[in-house]
Structure 1
Amino acid sequence: MSHTFIRNGFIVSGLINILAVLLLSRGFTNAVIPETDPVVMSNFGLLMITVWGLVFLAAARHYRQAKWIVGAFVVEKLVYAVVWFRWVTTHDVTAVYAKDLFAGIFYSVYGLNDFLFCLFFAAVFYRLHQTDAESSEVA
């Protein structure tokens, strides 16, 4: 993975967090998303997802100096992916679509997105760990 690819991955992750939440929640006015999962996807929870997006954007240029922050991103994305998997296997997403198309789309895809970016951040973390190990062997 090149530096440019990784930097762009951080940017895409941040933009998806911000733009998908703003679009699918209709600027935090879509009541179906927080009603469907009020613990995780309250309007405050959605706001925090956009804040994470800002953090991913901020880290895009400096990820090489922030290995452990990238590790935290892995954990954050894994938590959301696991929560989504538990939700999607115990609820009927078609019922959400019946209430609101945007909420249905949101609940259909957010965990898959988080899982894919969990893998991306894990690969970046591993690469940074390997680079650190190689640097210490040379020194």
Structure 2
Amino acid sequence: MNLNKSIVTKLMYLSGIMNIGGVLVLSRFFSNKAINQADPVVMSNFGLLMIVVWGLVFLAMAPKWNYLKWVIGAFVIEKFIYGFIWTKWLMNNNLSDVYEQDTMAGIFCTIYGANDWFFCIFYLTVFIYLSKTQNKVI
């Protein structure tokens, strides 16, 4: 398997930008209570802030990703958890109810998990690539 390092770096930056920009814009800088009400545990303002913090971490590691296999492994787990929680939320909630309450909250609830699943697969691919190409330390 061969990865284009420039594309990988750009996608890592995009991952961070999506976390930070998506939360700040769609939550109206943490003032959109409809997001909090849609999922009060995961999407509280504290939860949204932690998504922004993850975004900062994604941006910070992007230039040196090829040296950070285990950090990327942690990203796989983080993205899997959010993707799984989103899928479970979709199965038990009605998106149209969120859209009726607030369009931006509806957009957020529509895309955040799809974004997480995409980047889960992306980070898993990078992790596998690094696992196969880096020297093994015993």
TM-score, length basis structure 1: 0.94
TM-score, length basis structure 2: 0.95
Inter-partner Cα distance in structure 2 for 1:13 and 1:28: 20
- Deviation for aligned residue 1:35: 1.1
- Deviation for aligned residue 1:131: 0.4
Give CA-to-partner distance per residue, 1:58-102, whole Å, 9 cap, x none: 010111111000000000000000000000011000000000000
> How many residues matched?
134
Higher relative contact order (CA 8 A, sep 6+): 2
Quick one: which amino acid aligns to residue 117 of structure 1? Answer: F
Q: Where in structure 2 are the equivalents of 1:102-117 lying within 5 Å?
A: 102-117=104-119
Runs of 4+ in 1 over 2 A off after TM superposition: none
Q: In the alignment, which residue of structure 1 is the partner of 2:92?
A: 90
Gaps of 5+ in 1: none
User: Is residue 2:73 matched to residue 1:68?
Assistant: no
Q: CA RMSD in A?
A: 0.7
Q: In the alignment, which residue of structure 1 is the partner of 2:123?
A: 121
Aligned with 1:14 (options 8, 16, 19): 16
Inter-partner Cα distance in structure 1 for 2:65 and 2:36: 32
